[in-house]
Amino acid sequence: MARTVAQAEALAEKLRALPAIENKNRPISKAEEIKLLANEIAALQERNYSLQQIAEFLTGEGLEISTATLKNYLQRSKASGKRTAKKKPATAPKEAASTTPQAATGQSIGERAAAALPPAQSDHRTAQAAITRPDRERI
C-alpha cells in the first residue's frame, strides 16, 4: 500500500499537534540533578555557603557528591548554559514554538523535497577544477 505526499503531510500535522510528555519519575544522573539545582546552589553561594558545605548538605539529603565533583558539574552546567544561550533565536519563544517549517516557508513537504533535489544538468560543458592540497603531491 503506497502512501501519498498528502497523507505524509497530514501525519506530520498530527505529530506536530501532539503535546509534550513530561516524565518526572525518570532516573537522572548526578550531573543532571546538579544542573537542575544550579540556581539554588548559586543562591546558597551568594549567602556565603561554601561548596564544601553545600556538598555535605546534598550528601546528607541522599545525593552523595564530593566538593570537587560538585564544582565540576556546576562548571559544566554554566558552560552548557552559555552555549545554548548563544544558539537561541532572537524571536520570542512563543513565536518559535508555533512556527513550523511548513508555516515558515509556506511550502508543503513535497515542495521542500523537490527543492532539495540537485538541479538537472543539461549542459555537460561546465568546467570543474581540482585543487591540490599543499601538504600532498596528489589530489
DSSP-derived secondary structure for the chain: ----HHHHHHHHHHHHHSPP---TTS---HHHHHHHHHHHHHHHHHTT--HHHHHHHHHHTT----HHHHHHHHHHHHHHHHHHHHHS-SS-HHHHHH--HHHHH---HHHHHHHHSPPP---TT--------TT-S--
The 10 Å Cβ neighbour count of residue 23 is: 5
Q: Which residue has the cell 512563543?
A: 94
Predicted local distance difference test score (pLDDT) of residue 24: 87
Instruction: Decide if pLDDT at 1 tops 80.
Output: no
Q: Which of 33, 24, 69 is nearest to 51 (CA)?
A: 69
Average pLDDT for residues 39-65, to the nearest whole number? 95
Q: Which of 7, 55, 8 is nearest to 33 (CA)?
A: 55
Instruction: Decide if pLDDT at 18 tops 50.
Output: yes
Instruction: Decide if pLDDT at 22 tops 80.
Output: yes
Instruction: Decide if pLDDT at 131 tops 90.
Output: no
Return d(Cα 68, Cα 128) in angstroms, integer.
57
The model's pTM is: 0.48
Instruction: Decide if pLDDT at 72 tops 90.
Output: yes
